[in-house]
Amino acid sequence: MQHFEVNFDGLVGPTHNYAGLSFGNVASLSNAKSSSSPKSAAKQGLAKMKALQEMGMVQGVLAPQERPDIYALRRLGFQGSNEQVLRKAAAEAPAIFRACCSASSMWTANAATVSPSADTMSGRVHFTPANLTNKFHRSLEPQTTGRILQAMFANSRYFEHHQHLPDNEHFGDEGAANHTRFCNDYGNAGVELFVYGRYAFDSSKPAPQQYPARQTYEASAAIARLHGLSDENVVFMQQNPAVIDQGVFHNDVIAVGNQNVMFYHEQAFLNEQQGFAELEAKLGQPMHFIKVPTSAVSVEDAVKTYLFNTQLITLKPGHMIIIAPTECEEHPGVKAYLESLIAGNTPIKDVRFFDVKQSMRNGGGPACLRLRVALNDQELAAVNPHVILTDALFSRLNQWVDKHYRDELSIDDLIDPSLLDESRTALDELTQILHLGSVYPFQQD
Ligand code: SUG
């Protein structure tokens, strides 16, 4: 049997914009209200997907969501025709309106937590969409995310789907961004590391003071239970509250792991030694803990360049490469660090830089754009084949973007009611391209 790590990248949606919606995410706040390019954002994402496919990885596509979210606006009391709802919301509650326009579902590392079949009691792959309760604009995602995942992984013999956790900050869950699976080989039982920012039911424990901790211990523990993981293959670690207060709003902004490698910043975790010892003991083999000291890269530079929001992928046994944003290449200190890393004696042998600046300006690097799903060949054969990237799908999606996406979108353009129709027309066609069925609310009216 063969095993793969498949990366499902989020397609950027037609309303991609910079609304400054994410308190605690430095890039989102500092680029608020700049104009965006949905077309180049989508194409940058597609180019990264294609490059990974050409490297021999199995690459998948995850569809974006319908925005503006007219249903959320109606639920909040805006009434009338669609056009009236949009106009009233934009005039009376512009901040809420902008939140309902966000294309944030593109960051699919926050779409769900996924446990591969080798780790779970049922022997199936488990999916739980993240509830994303900490940010209103993101809390609009989980239901549609669940429908899209069910349309992609539609075989109940291999795949088990759970409802997202209760929509409450006590169970704030940000999905795979705070979850890393370590293993010898993708097909072997692994150890799943859940990183949380605070305890919801015990305020005496350490927590950040300035910015929110989006993931709670209680949410992480609930996901481990739902997925049928055993104590022997789960480790919980707390993020260092001090780095959350410096803009590390998800653990994947300060650490990335793959197989037996943990690449991380020295300030990333609380109780690092204890957590890593448990991880290594449960994995049952030595790990490579590649620690980046503050003296080499400060937390501020890590947040600025997204050195850790990189993809660490295995191209062949023992040969891993880093997929980094061009911001890392443009920063002399980080670039020098990466050069020394790949020259050293670790499984990380190379680095490739990708321009995903449209996403980076909202705090989304290469790792935010993808959801990792480890699958064996039978499971892969059971995935909806139309969401797996091929040369033909790549050109079809580029044509689709060219046809439907705007070159430029200013924050004021969001009030144009035709954006809703454009987005719906595009998404309706996309569900046909990807054979998803009627996953969007507007298709079910
Ligand atoms: O949730 N930005 C996203 C970025 C998510 C990055 N994901 C990971 N690290 N895995 C967020 O903060 C900004 C939207 C705006 O401001 O317009 C935003 O939602």
**177 ligand 1 Cβ < 6 A:** yes
Residue 75 covered by a domain: no
Task: Tokens for 48, please give them.
Answer: 């990264």
126 is catalytic: no
Residue 86 covered by a domain: no
Instruction: Report which ligand 1 atom has the smallest distance to the Cα of 137.
Output: 19
201: pLDDT confidence band, cut at 50, 70 and 90?
A: very high
**102 ligand 1 Cβ < 6 A:** yes
Q: Whose CA is nearest to atom 6 of ligand 1?
A: 364
- Which of 249, 305, 361, 370 to mutate for ligand 1's pocket (most ligand atoms within 8 Å of CB)? 249
Q: CB count, 10 Å around CB of 373?
A: 26
Q: For a pLDDT cut of 90, what percent of the chain falls above it?
A: 98
- Contacts with 328 (C-beta within 8 Å, 6 or more apart), sequence order: 305, 306, 307, 310, 334, 335, 338, 351, 353
Q: What is the pLDDT of residues 58-113, one digit of tens each?
A: 999 999 999 999 999 999 999 999 999 999 999 999 999 999 999 999 999 999 99
What pLDDT is stored for residue 262 in this prediction?
98
250 is catalytic: yes
Instruction: Report which ligand 1 atom has the smallest distance to the Cα of 368.
Output: 10
Rounded CA-CA distance 265/300 in Å is 11
Q: Whose CA is nearest to atom 10 of ligand 1?
A: 368
Residue 14 covered by a domain: yes
Residues 181 and 190: beta-carbon distance below 8 Å:
yes
Instruction: Report which ligand 1 atom has the smallest distance to the Cα of 249.
Output: 9
Residues 414 and 15: beta-carbon distance below 8 Å:
yes
Per-residue pLDDT, averaged over 337-355, amounts to: 98
Q: What is the largest CA-CA distance in the chain?
A: 64
Residue 318: left if φ>0, alpha if ψ -120 to 50, beta else—which one?
Answer: left
Residue 252 covered by a domain: yes
Rounded CA-CA distance 284/229 in Å is 17
What pLDDT is stored for residue 168 in this prediction?
97
What pLDDT is stored for residue 445 in this prediction?
79
Amino acid at 433: I
Per-residue pLDDT, averaged over 125-145, amounts to: 98
Residue 248 covered by a domain: yes
For residue 243, pLDDT over 90 is answered with yes
Of 183, 210, 212, 213, nearest to 195 by C-alpha is 213
Structurally, the chain folds into a number of domains equal to 1
Task: Tokens for 20, please give them.
Answer: 């400054």
Instruction: Tell me the pLDDT of the chain averaged across its residues.
Output: 97
Rounded CA-CA distance 347/302 in Å is 21
Which CATH number covers residue 44? 3.75.10.20
421 three-class SS:
helix
Q: Which residue has the tokens 């925005």?
A: 67
68 upstream amide cis, omega within 30 of 0: yes
**359 ligand 1 Cβ < 6 A:** no
Q: Tell me how far the alpha carbon of residue 363 lies from the centroid of ligand 1, in angstroms.
A: 5
Cα–Cα separations (whole angstroms), residue 241 to 206, 212, 399? 7, 9, 44
DSSP string, 234-253: EEEEEBPHHHHTTT--SGGG
Residue 82 covered by a domain: no
Per-residue pLDDT, averaged over 385-398, amounts to: 98
Q: CB count, 10 Å around CB of 100?
A: 26
**327 ligand 1 Cβ < 6 A:** no
Residue 76 covered by a domain: no
Residue 90 covered by a domain: no
Q: What is the pLDDT of residues 59-74, one digit of tens each?
A: 999 999 999 999 999 9
Q: CB count, 10 Å around CB of 267?
A: 20
Of 311, 300, 242, nearest to 30 by C-alpha is 300
Q: What is the pLDDT of residues 272-330, one digit of tens each?
A: 999 999 999 999 999 999 999 999 999 999 999 999 999 999 999 999 999 999 999 99
For residue 337, pLDDT over 90 is answered with yes
Start-to-end Cα distance in the chain:
43
Per-residue pLDDT, averaged over 164-178, amounts to: 98
Amino acid at 336: A
Task: Tokens for 353, please give them.
Answer: 């830089």
Q: Which of 100, 183, 328, 368 is catalytic?
A: 368
174 is catalytic: yes
Q: Which of 66, 141, 174, 218 is catalytic?
A: 174
Q: Whose CA is nearest to atom 14 of ligand 1?
A: 21
Which letter, b or e, does each residue of 144-177 get, where b requires 16 or more Cβ atoms within 10 Å of its Cβ?
Answer: bbbbbbbbbbbeeebbbbbebbeeebebbbbbbb
Q: What is the pLDDT of residues 17-48, one digit of tens each?
A: 999 999 999 999 999 999 999 999 999 999 99
Q: What DSSP character marks residue 206?
A: -
**Which domain does 382 fall in, by range?**
3-67+102-444
Instruction: Report which ligand 1 atom has the smallest distance to the Cα of 24.
Output: 12
Rounded CA-CA distance 240/385 in Å is 41
pTM: 0.98
